[in-house]
Amino acid sequence: MVRMVDIGGKPRVMRQALAEGRILLQPRTLEKIRHGLIKKGDVISASQLAGIQAAKRTSDLIPLCHPVPLSGVLVEVIPERDGVRCTCEVSAVYSTGVEMEALTGVAGALLCVWDMVKYLEKDKTGNYPNTSVQGIRVLLKKKGHTGITTHSERGKRKAKHASERAGHSKGES
């Protein structure tokens, strides 16, 4: 059985999340991106828009995610030495976190990069031996004024959430 978790009793507080990921590309592809020579157009701008759209549509893509009314989405797409890095920062005042929206924003932006440059990345057989989306992860999340947790603090975060749940069940906020 699967179900959407009931968040009706949770308070609405400011939620923020930051995620990142990257796509590895060939040097000649990166040069064409940097010089605006991609056939489909401006990779950076298109990928930023794709990331924003993806973050906004997360609940349409991931079945049990709540549709979150986002108050802000910032997507950065940055060419680097061996690929393109993407970050997505999402914020909302809501009853559930926005990590999935940030992760989806990164994935959408990076897939847009791939789509726009795939003609340059294909080998003679039509495959992509050098192209790879990697390292999509949550860098940080923030809930109200309780502080920031990072991906390396999972144990602390679990303990904190257990403590918060215990406090809410006693009527504390």
Question: Can you read off the two tokens belonging to residue 63?
Answer: 């079945």
- In what order do the strands lie in the sheet containing 13-24? 72-79, 83-94, 13-24, 132-143, 148-150
> Among the options 6, 42, 82, 115, which is catalytic?
115
> Is 115 assigned a catalytic role?
yes
Indicate the residue type of 25: L
Strands 72-79 and 83-94: antiparallel
Strands 13-24 and 83-94: antiparallel
* Nearest CA among 139, 48, 134, 135 for reference residue 98: 139
> Which residues are catalytic, by number?
115
